[in-house]
């Protein structure tokens, strides 16, 4: 056994926000890991005692990348607290906002944040390297430039509904602020079409959406890949081949248990929203997939717990439900890897434990037969998971990008379903109460809890996908999902640990990171590294 | 060729996301067509860890000439002025900001957080946040009243939550194409070319404003959002209805009241109970009147407007 070398990476970069990662490396493999969220702004503290609707203004601004997702949660949380009625058109308009933000993120994340790593000199030996550099090089790559530019298109649809993206507040309890006209809808169709023609079909898939939709199993996918050079030469085809060629399917797995809140409330099934009825009202079903047992069950917000043992809060070491959190940051946030080392918290299911959130989780949940018969079902990624020997950072990427076509189809459906002359808003009666709103941001499960008392906010709590994934250890010292996913990552060159960046970025965390290397025994810093 | 460095403090990345929506020029065009060399950006940068820290130190020392330093997000001072609640590249971000601002030819604050503190500085301001040269309306901020960058300008404030991509890219192109002398700033150091006009300038609801026809609740197909729904369009400086958002619309066009996010007080009234999406009034008269209009004139104006309002003005106008 070789000596353990400790690597501190601060910042990792191309993850949104401030993330530092420490890894212990032994014989060229990561044997231990710690993820540190390094920024505290105190949104929950700011929201205390404010107007009940303050969350509609403040929370989209918690994350400029998931603003529509935060707004969705904030609105539904108030709807359940105020017991509103939400008209059909408004449910569709909220879903369309959520969907277009996600469509925006697909090429922006893939090219802007993730694929750049494939141009790392480490991969010079791959036969796909030259092509990857040509397509994925920052700013000048042929696909990078198209992908990053086209990413601004879907949110033009968001702006037709909400006036702008990011940071609109057009979703309000009782519905939406807008009342779109015919030309808003026809323009939205044209924008979708442009996105499809310019990038999704021509560049990403190399085939029609219809052909891609025929793929429902690993074998189908392989047949598709080999059927036509256009498929193999598409960006999806290139990524698939290169990912396997450089071994991205060999590490980055993680906790092996997954969570999704489900999303897209059905327009006819959630007009009188309550917390308890949500699971049976969403098109994309909620769930937990336990990969160790191959079982699916529904997810319930009542079962969620947070632990701050290793987080910079003074709230004791017990697991608590977010309604019972008090958000008391400690003043001196010194880093102590045996003690407190992050602003994120350890989030878990009371029975199942630590869970990974995100696109892989959504697709593994989509492969389950739990939930309602009319809810979305898609076996592809679960089949790949089983055929490819479980999770990896490669499969996480494939799962993420697989969703694009489905998101696109949902947008089309909504544009057909709007009944333009019907109501968009029903004015609610403001009242005290507790509410909960959830959705799936593109990077994973997001939800808000609100407690309104005496006409103002008594408590507001947010669990973001990054809270699930970047969370530190909990009271039992169980590692968080990214910490766990880093275990086993091979580090070919400790002075350029691109593999750590790959794993962190495969979760599309909303955080930023650097790499410092320490000798594990002496604690002395050996070197600092560039990961990208 | 101009070197640009972009960092984020207490930020949500919203200005970055907005920037990436740009066209003519797009983010890529800035690099390929206008010779902007992006030294590093948190979402786009290739450098990591030690290489980034070296790059930052070289910018501070002058080994790399730093032409444009863009800062997004607040300067976090908590706890107790140390800045430890926002660490970046091995130390409190505020230390980097202090050194880089002094080394840069131009310092640009992007978005409300970097200009005046924005949402994080909302009471009780748990992160002890400041803007670069303002905290809300108070001149000074983190860098101090007397700060000027090497080119002799104070911080160029491009406010908004977020800032519109054009407000960012056009200023960068102006700097890159030698039009720096045409950039004139107002009392809050905002480029006047964008921030002299009002959000209301060009709003599609101006006729309803003129005839005092109100949108009394959301989802209506007519009416001005100022009278009941708290719209701040008549007293907010921005070109939101001249330079449309995402090329297609604006909040007021879509039916969302302007929140006044290009002004230092945003979020107004610190989001106190009863203030969100509701016009604050005293005896039926708005507390905040259109800029430059006094209460007596307002009552006279709206009285006459109401009398003059044609019959069509009360009917739906933005119809299917």
Question: Phi and psi at residue A86, in whole multiples of 5°?
Answer: -115, 120
Question: Mutate which of A61, A171, A527 to test chain B, going by most B C-beta atoms within 10 A?
Answer: A61
* pLDDT tier at A13, thresholds 50, 70, 90: low
Whether A379 shows a pLDDT value over 60: the answer reads yes
Identify the bridge partners of residue A265 per DSSP, sorted by sequence position.
Answer: A282
Domain spans, chain B: 2-194, 197-320
Average confidence (pLDDT) over A36-47 = 83
Average confidence (pLDDT) over A328-357 = 91
Average pLDDT, chain B: 95
Average confidence (pLDDT) over A210-235 = 98
pLDDT value of residue A530: 26
Average confidence (pLDDT) over A461-482 = 92
- Closest A-chain CA to B22: A152
pLDDT value of residue A505: 86
pLDDT value of residue A430: 97
Average confidence (pLDDT) over A124-150 = 95
pLDDT value of residue A7: 78
Whether A11 shows a pLDDT value over 70: the answer reads no
Average confidence (pLDDT) over B258-267 = 98
pLDDT value of residue A233: 98
Please report the DSSP string for chain B in residue order: -EEEEEEESB--SHHHHHHHT--SS-HHHHHHTS-EEEEE-TTT----HHHHHHHHHHHHHTSS---EEEEESBEE--STTS-TTBEETTEEHHHHHHHHHHH-SEEEEEHHHHHH-TGGGSTT-TT-EE-SSEETTEE-TTT-TT---TTS---EEE-SSS--HHHHHHHHHHHHTT-GGG--B-TTS-BHHHHSSBTTTT-TTHHHHHTT-B--STT-SS-BSTTTS---GGG-B--TTTS-BTTTB-HHHHTPPP--TTSTTPSGGGG-TT-TTS--EETTEESSPSTT--HHHHHHHHHHHHHH--GGGGS--S--
Kindly report, residue by residue over B116-135, the tens digit of the pLDDT. 999 999 999 988 999 999 99
CA dist., res. A178 & res. B320, Å (int): 12
Of A42, A61, A181, the CB nearest to B14: A61
pLDDT value of residue A525: 35
Average confidence (pLDDT) over B30-59 = 86
> How far, CA to CA in Å, does B162 sit from each of A89, A131, A171, B85, B158?
28, 36, 18, 23, 9
Residues 6+ apart with CB under 8 A from B242: B197, B201, B202
Q: How far away is chain B from the Cα of A248, in angstroms, using its nearest Cα?
A: 20
Average confidence (pLDDT) over B237-251 = 98
Q: What percent of chain B is modeled with pLDDT above 70?
A: 100
Kindly report, residue by residue over B53-69, the tens digit of the pLDDT. 899 999 999 999 999 99
For domain B2-194, the question of CATH label 3.30.200.20 is answered with no
Structure tokens that stand for B230 in this block: 């708290």
> Using an 8 Å Cβ cutoff, are A12 and A316 in contact?
no
Handedness of CA A532, A385, A345, A453 (dihedral sign): positive
* pLDDT tier at B109, thresholds 50, 70, 90: very high
Using a CB-CB cut-off of 8 Å, the residues of chain B touching A152 are: 20-23, 26, 246
Strongest mean pLDDT among A458-472, A508-522, B40-54, B181-195: B181-195
Q: What percent of chain B is modeled with pLDDT above 90?
A: 85
CA dist., res. B23 & res. A331, Å (int): 43
Average confidence (pLDDT) over B222-228 = 98
CB contact under 8 A, A112 and B43: yes
> Using an 8 Å Cβ cutoff, are B205 and B252 in contact?
yes
Handedness of CA A22, A26, A28, A30 (dihedral sign): negative
CB contact under 8 A, A515 and B50: yes
Average pLDDT, chain A: 91
pLDDT value of residue A528: 32
**How many contacts (CB atoms, under 8 Å) link A and B?**
298
Average confidence (pLDDT) over A508-529 = 36
Average confidence (pLDDT) over A97-122 = 94
CA dist., res. A337 & res. A508, Å (int): 24
Whether B145 shows a pLDDT value over 70: the answer reads yes
Residue A24 backbone zone (phi > 0: left; psi -120 to 50: alpha; other: beta)? beta
pLDDT value of residue B123: 93
- Closest B-chain CA to A16: B43
CB contact under 8 A, B50 and A529: yes
* pLDDT tier at A160, thresholds 50, 70, 90: very high
* pLDDT tier at A16, thresholds 50, 70, 90: low
Average confidence (pLDDT) over B227-255 = 98
Structure tokens that stand for A105 in this block: 């993120």
The interface predicted TM-score (ipTM) is: 0.97
Identify the bridge partners of residue A461 per DSSP, sorted by sequence position.
Answer: A449
Whether A146 shows a pLDDT value over 70: the answer reads yes
Reference B22, options A98, A258, A152; nearest CA is A152
Using a CB-CB cut-off of 8 Å, the residues of chain B touching A167 are: 14, 161-162, 261
Whether A9 shows a pLDDT value over 80: the answer reads no
CB contact under 8 A, B21 and A510: no
Q: How far away is chain B from the Cα of A218, in angstroms, using its nearest Cα?
A: 33
Of B13, B88, B249, the CB nearest to A159: B249
**Other beta carbons less than 10 A from residue A208's beta carbon:** 11
Number of residues that make up chain A: 532
Q: How far away is chain A from the Cα of B226, in angstroms, using its nearest Cα?
A: 14
pLDDT value of residue A18: 64
Kindly report, residue by residue over A259-274, the tens digit of the pLDDT. 999 999 999 999 999 9
CB contact under 8 A, B259 and A57: yes
Please report the DSSP string for A405-472 in residue order: HHHHHHHHHHHHH--TTS-SB-PPPP--EEEEEEEEETTEEEEEEEEEETTEEEEEEEE-HHHHHH--
Angle at A103 between CA A468 and CA A182, to 5 degrees: 130
Whether A519 shows a pLDDT value over 50: the answer reads no
Question: Mutate which of A79, A114, A142, A152 to test chain B, going by most B C-beta atoms within 10 A?
Answer: A152
Angle at A44 between CA A39 and CA A46, to 5 degrees: 95
CB contact under 8 A, A532 and B245: no
Q: In order of start, what are the domains of chain A with their CATH numbers?
A: 4-303+350-529 (1.10.645.10)
Average confidence (pLDDT) over B26-55 = 86
Kindly report, residue by residue over A362-376, the tens digit of the pLDDT. 999 999 999 999 999
Whether B289 shows a pLDDT value over 90: the answer reads yes
Comparison of pLDDT for A42 and A481, the residue scoring more: A481
pLDDT value of residue A521: 33
CB contact under 8 A, A530 and B47: yes
B2-194 against B197-320: fold identical: no
Q: How far away is chain A from the Cα of B296, in angstroms, using its nearest Cα?
A: 31
H helix and E strand count, chain A? 18, 18
What is the CATH code of the structural domain delimited by B197-320? 4.10.480.10
């Amino acid at each position: 056994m070789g000596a353990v070398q400790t690597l501190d990476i601060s910042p990792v970069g191309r993850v949104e926000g401030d993330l530092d990662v420490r890894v212990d490396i032994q014989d060229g493999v990561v044997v231990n890991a710690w993820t540190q969220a390094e920024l505290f702004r105190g949104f929950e503290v700011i929201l205390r005692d404010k107007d009940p609707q303050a969350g509609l203004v403040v929370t989209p601004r918690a994350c400029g990348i998931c603003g529509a997702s935060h707004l969705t949660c904030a609105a539904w949380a108030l709807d359940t607290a105020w017991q509103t009625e939400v008209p059909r058109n408004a449910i569709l308009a909220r879903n369309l906002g959520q969907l277009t933000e996600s469509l925006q993120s697909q090429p922006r994340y893939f090219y802007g944040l993730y694929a750049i790593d494939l141009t790392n000199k480490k991969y010079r030996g791959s036969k796909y390297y030259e092509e990857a550099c040509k397509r994925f090089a920052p700013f000048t790559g042929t696909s990078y430039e198209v992908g990053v530019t086209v990413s601004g298109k879907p949110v033009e649809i968001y702006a037709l509904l909400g006036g702008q993206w990011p940071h609109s507040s057009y979703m309000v309890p009782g519905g939406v602020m807008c009342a779109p006209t015919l030309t808003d809808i026809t323009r939205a169709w044209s924008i979708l079409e442009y996105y499809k023609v310019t990038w999704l079909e021509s560049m990403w898939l190399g085939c029609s959406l219809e052909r891609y939709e025929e793929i429902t199993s690993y074998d189908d996918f392989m047949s598709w890949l080999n059927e036509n050079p256009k498929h193999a030469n598409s960006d999806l085809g290139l990524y698939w081949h290169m990912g396997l060629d450089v071994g991205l399917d060999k590490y980055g797995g993680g906790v092996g248990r997954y969570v999704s809140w489900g999303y897209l409330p059905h327009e006819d099934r959630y007009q009188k929203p309550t917390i308890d009825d949500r699971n049976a009202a969403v098109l994309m079903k909620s769930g937990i997939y336990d990969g160790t047992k191959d079982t699916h069950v529904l997810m319930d917000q009542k079962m969620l717990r947070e632990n701050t043992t290793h987080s910079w809060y003074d709230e004791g070491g017990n697991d608590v439900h977010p309604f019972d959190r008090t958000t008391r940051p400690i003043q001196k946030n010194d880093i102590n890897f045996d003690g407190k080392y992050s602003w994120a918290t350890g989030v878990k299911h009371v029975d199942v434990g630590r869970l990974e959130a995100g696109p892989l989780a959504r697709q593994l949940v989509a492969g389950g037969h739990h939930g309602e018969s009319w809810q979305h079902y898609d076996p592809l990624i679960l089949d790949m998971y089983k055929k490819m020997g479980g999770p990896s950072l490669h499969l996480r990427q494939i799962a993420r990008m697989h969703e694009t076509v489905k998101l696109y189809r949902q947008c089309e459906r909504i544009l057909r379903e709007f009944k333009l002359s019907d109501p968009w808003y029903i004015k609610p009666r403001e009242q005290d109460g507790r509410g909960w709103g959830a959705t799936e941001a593109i990077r994973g499960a997001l939800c808000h809890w609100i407690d309104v008392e005496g006409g103002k906010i008594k408590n507001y709590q947010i669990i973001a996908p990054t809270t699930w994934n970047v969370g530190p250890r909990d009271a039992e010292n169980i590692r968080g999902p990214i910490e766990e996913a880093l275990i086993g990552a091979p580090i070919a060159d400790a002075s350029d640990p691109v593999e750590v960046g790959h794993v962190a970025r495969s979760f599309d965390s909303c955080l930023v990171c650097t790499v410092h290397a320490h000798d594990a025994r002496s604690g002395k810093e050996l070197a600092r590294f560039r990961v990208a | 060729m101009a070197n640009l460095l972009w960092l984020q403090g207490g930020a949500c990345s919203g200005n970055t996301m907005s920037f990436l929506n740009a066209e003519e020029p797009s983010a890529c065009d800035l690099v390929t067509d206008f010779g902007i060399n992006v030294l590093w950006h948190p979402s786009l940068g290739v450098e990591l860890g030690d290489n980034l820290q070296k790059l930052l130190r070289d910018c501070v020392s002058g080994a790399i000439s730093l032409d444009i330093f863009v800062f997004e997000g607040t300067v976090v001072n908590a706890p107790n002025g140390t800045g430890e609640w926002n660490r970046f590249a091995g130390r409190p971000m505020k230390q980097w900001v202090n050194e880089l601002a002094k080394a840069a030819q131009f310092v640009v604050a992007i978005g409300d957080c970097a200009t005046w503190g924005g949402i994080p500085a909302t009471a009780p301001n748990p992160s002890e946040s400041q803007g670069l040269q303002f905290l809300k309306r108070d001149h000074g901020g983190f860098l101090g009243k007397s700060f000027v960058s090497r080119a002799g300008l104070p911080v160029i404030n491009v406010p908004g939550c977020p800032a519109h991509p054009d407000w960012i890219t056009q200023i960068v192109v102006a700097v890159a194409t030698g039009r720096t002398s045409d950039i004139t700033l107002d009392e809050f150091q905002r480029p006047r070319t964008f921030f002299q006009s009002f959000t209301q300038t060009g709003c599609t609801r101006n006729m309803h404003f003129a005839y005092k026809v109100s949108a009394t609740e959301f989802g209506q197909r007519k009416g001005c959002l100022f009278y009941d729904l708290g719209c701040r369009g008549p007293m907010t400086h921005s070109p939101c209805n001249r330079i449309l958002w995402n090329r297609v619309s604006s909040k007021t066009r879509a039916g969302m009241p302007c929140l006044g996010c290009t002004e230092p007080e945003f979020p107004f009234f610190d989001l106190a109970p009863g203030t969100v999406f509701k016009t604050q009034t005293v005896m039926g008269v708005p507390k905040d009147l259109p800029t430059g209009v006094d209460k007596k004139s307002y009552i006279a104006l709206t009285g006459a407007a109401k009398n003059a309002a044609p019959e069509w003005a009360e009917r739906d106008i933005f119809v299917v």
